[in-house]
């Protein structure tokens, strides 16, 4: 499978990298007549992560010679992935119609903020724009208190580059589906990925509450009426816990050494726990403060209690699970000091 990575941003770069990791021969097209994206062409380690196993073709897509080079690359390509808005994509000859005229079997994937159709098709956007236009930003961070500092906390974008990564994953999966369709039809296909639309399905519960109950969810609403629930302070950081079922509570009580107050049968009922959640939070706080997150998470695993350590990046760098799977690879392209970078979510 031959893939042309014509994108300038992170989403396309990650989609092409995923395809490269499963055997695709990827050529990155660098448009010499356009500015680079700092999220893609910033730190050398980021470039190494995104462009691993890719060859590079420098082309001025706005020149006659550049268009000839693009056509030559497209003749035997299986896939082209791009992130330009429709008007710009057409000017650069990267739209599906232009590509199909050169190679009728090519699959063209467009990864744009709003998709290539509709009134917003030529709007600009990035991770922050997609977060807030999707409605997801209005609910982040979750479970804010209405009073005090929480009431003045504005909505926030998702951390890091999650939107671009989600969009890249969606594009890679859709490309593989389109290639399978090509086996049946013999013709290429246009894959149209909207970054905004990749986020909306993540709000399945909130969408259901709106369409069926007319309730508009927000960051001030408790999404799950569970107790105890959420991120809690422990001895060396934070843990996340989610006590849903009766056996979860019994296991948690056992972890705490079966304190007398927690053996009250009424606490087996989730509604009762939720009603008395403030008191429960106060009672479990001293126990959590006395134990490290790794110990809590391990003891919870043995009892099938939904607990998780809230890891920092330092924790990730020393996590035995990631080390055993070889997730972090040494960066060996001359950058000093030597660094590690993610290899991918599946061994290859």
CATH of the domain at 289: 3.30.1540.10
Same structural domain, 15 and 155? yes
Q: How far apart are CA 276 and CA 208, in angstroms?
A: 27
Do 259 and 182 fall within a single domain? no
Distance CA 226, CA 298 (A): 22
d(CA 242, CA 239): 10
User: Is 218 inside a domain boundary?
Assistant: no
pLDDT for the residue numbered 336: 60
Question: Are 185 and 53 in the same domain?
Answer: yes
Number of domains the chain contains: 2
Position 57 in a domain = yes
Mean pLDDT value across residues 14-35: 90
Strand-pair partners of 307: 241
Digit-coded pLDDT (tens) for 289-307: 999 999 999 999 999 999 9
> Does residue 21 sit in the same domain as residue 110?
yes
**Residues 15, 161 within the same domain:** yes
**Within a domain: 233:** yes
Residues above pLDDT 70, as percent of the chain: 89
Residues 117-135: what's their mean pLDDT?
93
Chain center to CA of 313: 16
For residues 188 and 250, membership in a common domain is answered with: no
Please state, for a pLDDT cut of 90, what percent of the chain lies above it: 66
Torsion of CA 253, 258, 264, 270, to 10 degrees: 0
Q: Does 74 share its domain with 179?
A: yes
Position 143 scores a pLDDT of: 61
- Report whether 333 contacts 7 (CB < 8 A): no
What are the two backbone dihedrals, phi and then psi, of residue 111, each rounded to the nearest 5 degrees? -120, 100
Cβ atoms of residues 157 and 137 within 8 Å? yes
pLDDT at position 223: 58
Residue 40 lies in a domain: yes
Q: Are residues 187 and 66 in the same domain?
A: yes
Residues 220, 221, 225, 228, Cα dihedral to 10°: -10
pLDDT in tens, 36-93: 665 565 667 777 778 878 899 999 999 999 999 999 999 999 999 999 999 999 999 9
Give the domain CATH number at 166: 3.40.50.10540
- Please calculate the CA angle 12-16-17 and round it to the nearest 5 degrees: 115
Place of tokens 């994108």: 7
Please tell me the predicted confidence (pLDDT) of residue 148. Answer: 46
Q: Give CA separation, 339 vs 11, 75, 195, 335, in Å.
A: 23, 38, 31, 8
Residue 168 has pLDDT above 90, yes or no: yes
Instruction: Decide which of 42 and 213 is more confident.
Output: 213
In a domain? residue 334: no
Mean pLDDT of 141-166: 71
> Nearest to residue 137, comparing CAs of 128, 145, 126?
128
Q: Which of these, 177, 98, 162, lies nearest to 131 by C-alpha position?
A: 162
Per-residue pLDDT, 199: 92
Q: Is 210 a member of any domain?
A: no
User: H-helix or E-strand containing 15?
Assistant: helix 10-21
Q: How confident is the model at residue 138 (pLDDT cuts 50, 70, 90)?
A: confident
- Same domain membership, residue 131 and residue 52: yes
Q: How far apart are the C-alpha atoms of 298 and 256, rounded to whole Å? A: 13
* Domain final position from 160, 179, 200: 200
**Final residue in a domain of this structure, among 200, 221, 239:** 200
Tell me if 184 is assigned to some domain.
yes
* Burial class of 335 by CB neighbour count within 10 A (0 to 12, 13 to 18, 19+): middle
109 close to 173: Cβ distance less than 8 angstroms = no
Q: Does 68 fall in a domain?
A: yes
pTM value is 0.84
Question: How is residue 265 written in tokens?
Answer: 């049968």
What is the arithmetic mean of pLDDT over 18-46? 80
pLDDT value at residue 337: 64
> Which whole number is the average pLDDT over 13-21?
92
pLDDT tens sequence across 216-233: 877 766 656 789 988 999
Instruction: Give yes or no for residue 146 having a pLDDT over 60.
Output: no
Whole-angstrom Cα distance, residue 211 to residue 213? Answer: 6
Q: Are residues 184 and 278 in the same domain?
A: no
The tens digit of pLDDT for each residue in 331-342 reads 665 556 667 777
Same domain, 134 and 241: no
Distance separating alpha carbons of residues 291 and 284, to the nearest angstrom:
11
What b/e sequence results for 118-156 when a residue is b if at least 16 CB atoms lie within 10 Å of its CB, and e otherwise? Answer: eebbeeebbbebbbbbbbbbbbeeeebeeeeeeeeeebe
The length of the chain is 348
Q: Both 79 and 195 in a single domain? A: yes
Band of residue 150 on the pLDDT scale cut at 50, 70, 90? very low
Query: Which of 166, 11, 133, 182 has its CA nearest to residue 84?
Result: 11
Structure tokens at 169: 């994953």
Range of the structural domain that residue 265 is part of? 229-310
Cβ-based neighbours of 185, under 8 Å, separated by 6 or more: none
């Amino acid at each position: 499978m031959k893939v042309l990575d014509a994108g300038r941003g992170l989403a396309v770069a990650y989609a092409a990298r995923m395809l490269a990791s499963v055997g695709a021969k990827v050529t990155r097209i660098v448009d010499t007549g356009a500015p680079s994206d700092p999220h893609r062409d910033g730190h050398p380690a980021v470039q190494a992560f995104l462009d691993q196993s890719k060859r590079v073709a420098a082309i001025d897509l706005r020149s006659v010679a550049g268009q000839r080079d693009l056509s030559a690359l497209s003749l035997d390509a299986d896939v082209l992935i791009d992130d330009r808005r429709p008007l710009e994509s057409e000017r650069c000859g990267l739209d599906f119609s232009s590509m199909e005229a050169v190679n009728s079997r090519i699959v063209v994937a467009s990864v744009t903020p709003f998709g290539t159709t509709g009134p917003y098709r030529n709007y600009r956007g990035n991770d922050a724009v997609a977060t807030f236009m999707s409605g997801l930003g209005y609910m982040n961070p979750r479970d804010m208190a209405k009073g005090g500092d929480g009431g003045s906390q504005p909505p926030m974008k998702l951390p890091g580059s999650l939107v671009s990564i989600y969009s890249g994953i969606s594009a890679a999966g859709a490309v593989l589906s389109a290639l399978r369709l090509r086996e049946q039809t013999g013709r290429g296909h246009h894959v149209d990925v909207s970054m905004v639309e990749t986020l909306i399905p993540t709000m399945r519960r909130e969408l259901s509450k709106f369409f069926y109950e007319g309730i508009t969810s927000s960051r001030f609403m408790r999404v799950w009426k569970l107790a105890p629930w959420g991120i809690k302070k422990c001895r060396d950081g934070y843990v996340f816990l989610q006590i849903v079922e009766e056996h979860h509570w019994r296991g948690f009580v056992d972890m705490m050494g079966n304190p007398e107050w927690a053996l009250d049968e009424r606490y087996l009922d989730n509604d009762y726990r939720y009603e008395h959640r403030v008191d429960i939070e106060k009672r479990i706080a001293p126990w959590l403060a006395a134990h490290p997150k790794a110990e809590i998470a391990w003891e919870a695993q043995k009892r099938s209690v939904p607990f998780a350590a809230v890891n920092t990046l330092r924790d990730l760098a020393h996590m035995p699970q990631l080390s055993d799977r070889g997730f972090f690879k040494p960066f060996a392209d001359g950058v000093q000091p030597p660094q590690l970078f993610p290899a991918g979510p599946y061994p290859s």
